[in-house]
Amino acid sequence: MSLVVYLAAFVFGMTSVLLFPRPRKAMRNPLTVSTCAAIVLGALVFVCAAPATLATVNELTGVPNFGAPLTYGMLSAYSCAVLVLLINWRGGSRERVRRGVLRTVAAYGLLVAAIVVLFVLAEADTERLTDLDTYYAGTPFMREMILLYLIGHSAAMLVMCAVCVKWGREVDGPLRTGLRLILVGALLDVVGFQAAKYTAIVARWTGHDLDVLSTTVAPPMASLAALLCSAGYLLPSAVAQWRALGDHRRLAPLWALVKPASTAPRPPTGWWQLPQVRLQWREVSIHDALLALAPYFDHRLRERVRDSALRAGRSPHAARLAAEAAMLADAARRAAAREEPPETGGTYRLHATEVSGTGGLVELAQALHRPPDGSAAADATERPSLPGSMTEPEEPHVA
């Protein structure tokens, strides 16, 4: 059983690595910090609860069952971290969030202290590695300690279920799917782990033996619940990274065209750079190049291509993109040939610089592959285009 628990701890803990790729930046985001803290504490709970760990801790400390308050305290800390995560997720004023976090930490801090005190007061000299909850269910002080950790954990999971149900109605897409996975994991924890524990303990109080629920059913249910929760935490981030990878690739034609004009510093490269980081650097570099190419914009060319595209039946937006793509290709050619800027001064903002995010740049990159038809194409190609500017480029060096 220890191997299964350690595996669950590893998978649960690896989620925090994927969510916490850039420590310096992530440390400034309370939501990211609280999410990773909850995941790491959840992984530590599994490590502490493994029979092999319990036996080692008991042997090193020389105190029978010392691993019990350690595990229960860690589980209470995890429950606290879950509530702190929900407080940061809900947001609000900084004072409100700070007050909620302090109250939660204080409450569970007292709970952990009570668990330690009750263990010290209890008579628990017989080491139990797998059935401590039921074996000591009727022992004074141990009984209260066991109930305290279960009640504290139940409160956190029930609050999480309520929040997931509420927010699941207000969001959509990957975030809603992630919330549903977290909800299923929390419900499985409540039903498969906590309910099994409560039932086995009450059975002991009434003279019955349902220890199998606590020793055989509850541990794998807790592991499965943790894996579902970790998948829910990770899913929105994973989808965002996948979309960033697609946008990064779609921007390749545009980057190949304007790369010679970019003066942005080269970003750090390496396989560990996540797609969102690569996309951010490429977006910054392209915007820098567009700023450098602005003096070479031929607005008469842009107007001719736009008018021709409109006559060919293009929508105003598509015509604007086609015109801007032709003007940008011409500007890149002029800059590469060190020609004088055209005498068509004036200020003009590309559509890609008017919208937030990478959507505008992606549209501009795609327009480079779709030159306007008819006379517009002739206008756009009055001057030879930059070699390779309208074909699939090789992957640039910058991430």
pLDDT tens, residue by residue, 241-261? 889 999 999 999 999 999 998
Q: Are residue 73 and residue 217 in the same domain, yes or no?
A: yes
Distance of CA 79 to the CA centre of its chain: 20
Average pLDDT over residues 2-14: 63
DSSP 51: H
> At 78, which CATH number?
1.20.1070
Residues 102 and 64 in one domain: yes
What was the pLDDT predicted at 269? 60
Q: What pLDDT score does 394 carry? A: 37
51-61 vs 2-19: helix crossing angle, rounded to 10: 100
Averaging pLDDT over each range in 15-29, 163-177, 320-334, which range is the top one? 320-334
Q: Count of domains in the chain? A: 2
**CA dist., res. 203 & res. 91, Å (int):** 42
Domain boundary among 240, 264, 297: 240
Average pLDDT value for residue range 338-347: 78
Q: Is the dihedral of CA 288, 294, 297, 303 positive or negative?
A: positive
Answer yes or no: are the C-beta atoms of 313 and 243 closer than 8 Å: no
pLDDT at 387 over 60: no
DSSP string, 278-313: HHHHHHHHHHHHHHHHGGG--HHHHHHHHHHHHHTT
Residue at 284 is within a domain: yes
List the single range of 139-153, 310-324, 336-350 with lowest mean pLDDT: 336-350
What pLDDT does 161 receive?
Answer: 93
Residue 346: pLDDT band (50, 70, 90) is: low
- The angle at the Cα of 67, spanning 63 to 71, to the nearest 5 degrees, equals 155
8 and 85 together in one domain: yes
Q: What is the SS3 assignment for 120?
A: helix
* pLDDT at residue number 150: 95
DSSP annotation of 259 reads G
Whether 375 shows a pLDDT value over 60: the answer reads: no
- Looking at the predicted structure, is the pLDDT value of residue 370 above 90? no
Boundary (domain end) residue, out of 240, 266, 300:
240
196 and 325 together in one domain: no
Give dist(CA 291, CA 349) in Å, integer: 10
- Report the pLDDT value the prediction gives residue 13, as an integer from 0 to 100: 61
Clarify whether residues 41 and 162 are in a common domain.
Answer: yes
Q: Tell me: the pLDDT tens digits for 174-184?
A: 889 989 999 99
- Residue 283's alpha-carbon distances to 162, 240, 360, in angstroms, are 39, 16, 11
Of the pLDDT bands very low, low, confident and very high (cuts 50, 70, 90), residue 380 is very low
| Sign of the torsion formed by the C-alpha atoms of 379, 385, 389 and 391 | positive
Q: In the prediction, which pLDDT does 11 show? A: 64
pLDDT in tens, 109-160: 999 999 999 999 999 999 999 899 999 999 999 999 999 999 999 999 999 9
* Cβ atoms of residues 281 and 398 within 8 Å: yes
Measure the CA angle with vertex 193, ends 192 and 196; round to 5°.
80
Longest dimension (CA), the chain: 96
Summarised one tens digit per residue, pLDDT across range 231-244 is 887 788 788 888 99
pTM of the model: 0.75
What pLDDT does 272 receive?
60
On the question of pLDDT at 383 being above 70, the answer is: no
User: Which domain-ending residue is among 240, 269, 292?
Assistant: 240
Range of the domain at 38: 2-240
